[in-house]
A and B are shown apart, each in its own frame.
Chain A
Amino acid sequence: MASEEQHTILDVHALAIGYALKKDKNVIAEGISFSLKQGTLVGLVGANGIGKSTLLRTLSGMQPPLEGSVLLQGEPFKSYSVLGLAAQLSVVLTETPASKNLTVQELISLGRQPYTNWMGRLSEIDIKVVNEAMEVTDTNSLSRRKCFELSDGQLQRVYIARALAQDTPLILLDEPTTHLDLYHRAYVLQLLKRLATEKNKCILFSTHEIDLAIQLSDLMVVMSSDGTFVDQPCNLITAGRFDALFPKDVIRFDPKTGRFGSIK
């Protein structure tokens, strides 16, 4: 849990997200406000199409906000250079890297690009950070393997290791648990939890694993048709925020178990 003296990484105020096409504004979600501190694991949940990816894109600076402000370390995105931003924020995307011919070690080392010279040569520090990233994600034994040889679960660990090698206070992950089996879904989220606590990172991930996210996250962002709510998972359950996530005709949220169940 984030303590009071931890400093704020991401500050979002009255944010409206969506797409602006010339004069038309297509607002997907608005009135989003929260602030995230170091050492916190934040789960972002919501139904398909509610705007999770748009929010993540806005928070990673790939897309400008329609209204409101996003401050990273107290500064707006505009004040960062491309390289400066790369040292603050790393991402794990749903798209797979274009080249699967890279070895695991090569891929993870690419995370050091913001810090290396024009040749991309790894210094002692770079090698140390890459080693740590491989150790904590348990990808050491894979280092020589090519990405096309890996399973989805192993690949996800490699992508997370690359983001770690980038050594940023904030890591954003877009659905890191898709395509994974139950074991690996739990493994990845526990890994993220460990990184938040041990490495003091601020980690925001979107997911459809609502029950796992409730168990592991320090904070949760719930995007529903009623609005966007940010709080600790237990408070969100008491407030009944998960009920509004989906239409109630097929599944229903059980506040006692913290899970969704099928209506018989």
Chain B
Amino acid sequence: MERLKTYRVSFLFLILLLFAALLINISFGSVAIPIDEIVTTLIGGEASKSSWHFIILDYRLPKAVVAVLAGGGLAVSGLLMQTLFRNPLAGPFVLGISSGASLGVALLILGAGAFGGYVSGLLLSQWSLVLAAAMGSFLVLLTVLVVTFRIKDTMAILIIGLMFGSITAAVVAVLSYFSNAEQLQQYIFWSFGSLGNQSWQGVAMLSLFCGGGFLLSFLRSKSLNALLLGENYAKSMGLHLKRTTFWIIIITSILAGSITAFVGPIAFVGLAVPHLTRQWFTTSNHFTLIPAVMLCGSILMLICDTIAQLPFSEYTLPINAITSLVGAPVVIWLLVRKRKLLF
């Protein structure tokens, strides 16, 4: 028996790439900041301009950290869903998590008008958006879990997730019909996704959820590997199928749910990154894949965000659009090159 590859060099390379992407991401923006100034600031020194110090520590660094967490988290939850449903097209939102979040936010923004000026101002603070999105995804998740325990077929969960997507989209459409232009714009801006404008408390909270999600998913690697053979084989090798399905759904919800709550729906990273990673790490072992997918997701998200903030200009493009613009061609390229998506 040959020894299994450990991919040490690849991991080292990915980590270096992550730091490079992080520095470049912080460096570029409406104001370009030299890399050495960033390094000085990050290790506790003073930047030569005090405005740089402020921009780096209070604006760009939290945004970069959110990008790392969101990219990694979405990519890992995409991998989990692809393995659970053994479907290469599954992504973090197949369970309806982002539709749930959209519904929560839509109810908040589009419904807030009903309460009039003062109350709606109170309702629409940063935290209430996060809370509404979290509640929305939690509600959908709860329903999916209840259904999971009543049916035997895992694939049915997939269809139920899709149905929830349709229902929430319809409710949002009805709500939009009765709202004014300003509210609609606010809702649409939320749906563009935004990595920035997070307080350090927000970043800390997101790190907590994502860190927990990463750890739990890594601990489930053995079960995930068994699922690669299909449910019947997995059961015959001593896997508790229901328990495993339950945990995978919970982990995905923690990761995708908290990320959607903080930064809004972000498309394609969760679907594309696992496939990209498999081109490089030619293994199906989740002990290797989970950290690899996490790193690749973070790097891709940092790159997308660097593009989205349109260096040297004052404009910022919606991150959700950029991830699709980058992600969709990647999936097409993979399909054309390999003819099929393996997982």
A interface residues (Cβ-Cβ under 8 A, vs B): 60, 62, 82-83, 85-87, 89-91, 93, 95-103, 105-107, 110-111, 113-114, 116, 118-120, 127, 130-131, 134, 143-144, 146, 148, 166
Told that A90-B236, A97-B228 touch, could you supply 5 new A-B pairs with CB distance under 8 A? A62-B235, A91-B232, A99-B86, A99-B228, A102-B284
- B342 and A99 contact, CB distance less than 8 A: yes
For B226, the closest partner residue in chain A by CB is: A113
Residue B285 CB within 8 A of the other chain: yes
- B228 partner residues in chain A, CB cutoff 8 A: 97-99, 102, 110
**Given contact pairs A62-B235, A86-B238, A107 touches B1 in the complex (Cβ within 8 A):** no
Q: Which of B86, B284, B285 has the most CB of A within 10 A?
A: B284
CB-contacts of B224-277 with A (<8 A): 225-230, 232-233, 235-240
Q: How far is the CB of B91 from chain A (nearest CB, A)?
A: 17
- A146 partner residues in chain B, CB cutoff 8 A: 282
For B340, the closest partner residue in chain A by CB is: A148
A62–B232 Cα distance when bound, in Å, is 8
**Given contact pairs A86-B238, A118-B219, A97 touches B233 in the complex (Cβ within 8 A):** yes
**Given contact pairs A85-B238, A86-B238, A143-B2, A101 touches B229 in the complex (Cβ within 8 A):** no
- B230 and A95 contact, CB distance less than 8 A: yes
For A131, the closest partner residue in chain B by CB is: B1
A4–B4 Cα distance when bound, in Å, is 44
Q: How far is the CB of B226 from chain A (nearest CB, A)?
A: 6
Question: SS class of chain A's interface: helix, strand, loop or mixed?
Answer: loop
In the A-B complex, list the 8 residue pairs whose CB atoms are closest, starting with the nearest. Answer: A86-B238, A98-B86, A99-B228, A101-B342, A83-B238, A120-B222, A97-B229, A114-B238
A102–B225 Cα distance when bound, in Å, is 10
- A86 and B237 contact, CB distance less than 8 A: yes
Q: How far is the CB of A83 from chain B (nearest CB, A)?
A: 4
Of the residues A86, A105, A106, contact of B236 by C-beta under 8 Å:
A86
- B235 partner residues in chain A, CB cutoff 8 A: 62, 82
Q: How far is the CB of A146 from chain B (nearest CB, A)?
A: 8
A131–B233 Cα distance when bound, in Å, is 21
**21 A–B pairs (Cβ distance < 8 Å), ordered by A:** A62-B232, A83-B238, A86-B237, A90-B237, A95-B230, A96-B230, A97-B229, A98-B227, A99-B343, A101-B284, A101-B343, A103-B284, A105-B1, A106-B284, A110-B225, A110-B226, A113-B222, A114-B238, A118-B222, A130-B1, A134-B1
